[in-house]
Amino acid sequence: MTLNQVPDHVPAEMVGDFSLFTSPGMLPTPDGDPQAATACVHAGPPIFYSPFNTRDGRGTWVITRATDQRRVLQDADTFSSHRSIFASALGENWPMIPLELDPPAHGVFRSLLNPLLSPKRVTALEPAVRERAIALIDSIAASGTSCDVMQDFAFPFAVSIFLRLLGLPDHRLHPFVGWANDLLHGDDVKRPAAARTILAFIDELAAMRREEPVDDFMTFIVQAQVESRRLTDEEVRGIGVLVFVAGLDTVAAAIGFDLAFLARHPKEQELLRSEPNRIVLAAEELLRAYPTVQIIRVARKDIDFEGAPIRKGDYVSCATMIANRDPAEFECPDTIDLMREDNRHAAFGYGPHRCLGSHLARREIVIGLEEWLARLPAFRIKEGTAPVAYGGHVFGIENLIVDWS
């Protein structure tokens, strides 16, 4: 670590040797557990400065305590969410909506979109979600006695629900999976190319729905009004991009980490098979144990926070996996207890920007687990293979080959 990456206002004693990108357990590791590897920060101070803690190599303050993360995420006046994460891949500066809007604009768009992903709407979508899970799993079962969980199930499942939301046919599935992978995990060439492709698709779909409206998400967006006006092209794009980015990798990764855990823990797997009514509670504990997102805010003004001299423009990291291992928040935080009650995990964030799609994500994960356990026999990690897990901006898992021969 070179100290020239540390701003002058950060005291040397507040610099920590930890990064969600490069610390032990964060780089792609066979049989790794990057979420568990973050627990080491709880042996240190409640807040420190990490000189390299974003995809583009920037430093951030790291908030380790769940209660302090909630303070940051609740305080949009001090900590802005506008970072142009997607647009920056194109060298542009516009927000994903409503995620990267600050109040009061955030509330206007959040109110517009809440009904589209409300518990009632998710209940209406549930038969389609279950039908898709069953079709994929039955196809896997008919194809042999092993599969690649991410390629054969988790990604196609998550992407197909996104396609359903947009009113698109399933044959569009494979290009979407490729775009999502390139955008979220590609190099400096693949990321901008994927971003441009996704934008062109969203613009094209919006134009189609303006010409020929149907009963779907995009038609709602292009016909919607905020403050007595139609949405601008940039606003439509900002919403479309967020739905694409937020709903794919996160849900697929959650299902992957959950099935990897069950593949390694036959007793817990058997418990959920024999008592499927426990899956809803178990899914909450697995969200606590294996969250995937680092939430970053940008300081809008100078502030002294728990002794840290945060200055305007500083990045502040509220990593969900760190909050979820906080011993002040959870009894035995490093123990995965599928019967854990009162689980105040941070997997979906907190405050005004709490995940808009959390109801749908929860149902996708639970339905995915229910149908997987109901339709496939006891499974384990295939001999001679090892899943590869990694940290970063969005944690992930790949090469998850399971076997039930």
Closest CA to 161 of 203, 126, 195, 185: 126
Per-residue model confidence as pLDDT tens digits over 102-147: 999 999 999 999 998 999 999 999 999 999 999 999 999 999 999 9
Q: H-type helices in 278-354, by residue range?
A: 279-289, 320-323
Q: Which two tokens stand for residue 296?
A: 């970053």
Q: Residue 97's closest CA among 298, 294, 240, 297?
A: 240
At 2 the pLDDT is 44
Are 201 and 162 in contact by the 8 Å Cβ rule? The answer is no
Residues 28 and 17 sit within 8 Å (Cβ to Cβ)? no
CB–CB of 324/103 below 8 Å?
A: no
183: amino acid identity, one letter: L
Query: Angle formed by the axes of helices 119-142 and 155-166, to 10°?
Result: 140
Question: What would the pLDDT profile of 235-270 be if each residue is shown by its tens digit?
Answer: 999 999 888 888 778 899 999 999 999 999 999 999
Q: And the tokens for 340?
A: 């854990």
pTM summary value: 0.94
As a whole number of angstroms, the distance between CA 387 and CA 382 comes to: 9
Tens-place pLDDT, residues 332-362:
999 999 999 999 999 999 999 999 999 999 9
- Residue reference for tokens 């794009």: 237
pLDDT tens per residue across span 262-287: 999 999 999 999 999 999 999 999 99
Three-state secondary-structure class, residue 297: strand
Output the pLDDT for position 246. 81
- Structural class in CATH, domain 12-20+32-403: mainly alpha
Average pLDDT over residues 90-112: 93
The owner of tokens 């040397």 is 12
pLDDT for the residue numbered 176: 82
